[in-house]
Amino acid sequence: MISSLSGSVSQVGEGSLVVEVGGFGLLVYVPDPLVDQVSPGGQIFLHTYLIVRQDALALYGFETIEGRDYFVLLLGVSGIGPRLAVTILSSLDPESIRRAIVTDQAEVFSRVPGVGKKTAQKIVFSLQDKITKEEGFEPIAAMSEVDSEVLSALVALGYSVVEAQAALQSIPKDAPQDVESRLRLALAYFS
């Protein structure tokens, strides 16, 4: 198993990188935010996961071990293949995934392109028992209905789920609890 690799980026593609390692160019599928951060000629270190199929070998790379671990967890959900798992990790960071699962918010996953309502519910149901306090995850507060509406509005305006959640987290604790005020404060985060 190839657990990690380090090398020089020779090509940046859509959802993939070619990393030169010891004279070989390895095609590595990566989440979109990582593609946006690198450029040809730069050095990179990736935590990887190799998928062996009858007709192909596919290597998937992640910046963190946690990202790779969530990729493997998502692969364990019936109906989630490697491409969809990477798409989910392109839209949601591991903390957002954990929060959605722990707080039973399947709608967070249904906002990811290619994930329908049933698949989103299946993800939450399948992973709830795997993401527990015993694994070191501290309990977190559920998102309020108002913040959920603000999140939906930000996503509808074209922001990614990760960007929208970052904007929500930037809202002061003592801010008014109405949707309009909180949306205005969240939008201020982007300016």
Q: Where in the chain is the domain with CATH 1.10.150.20?
A: 65-135
User: Residue 143: what pLDDT?
Assistant: 66
Report the pLDDT averaged over residues 172-190. Answer: 87
CATH of 145-189 among 2.160.20, 1.10.3470, 1.20.120, 1.10.8 = 1.10.8
* 3-class DSSP state of 6: strand
* 3-class DSSP state of 134: helix
Least confident piece of the model among 14-23, 51-60, 151-160 = 151-160
* CATH class held by domain 65-135: mainly alpha
pTM: 0.69
Task: Output the DSSP codes for 43-108.
Answer: EEEEEEEEEE-SS-EEEEEESSHHHHHHHHHHHTSTT--HHHHHHHHHHS-HHHHHHHHHTT-HHH
In 3D, which of 93, 114, 113 has the Cα closest to residue 164? 93
- Residue at token pair 């390895």: 26
User: Residue 92: what pLDDT?
Assistant: 87
According to the CATH classification, is domain 4-62 in 2.40.50.140?
Answer: yes
User: Residue 86: what pLDDT?
Assistant: 92
Q: Where in the chain is the domain with CATH 2.40.50.140?
A: 4-62
pLDDT tens digits, 6-21: 999 999 989 899 999 9
Report the pLDDT averaged over residues 33-48. Answer: 91
pLDDT band at 131 (very low <50, low <70, confident <90, very high): confident
Q: Where in the chain is the domain with CATH 1.10.8?
A: 145-189
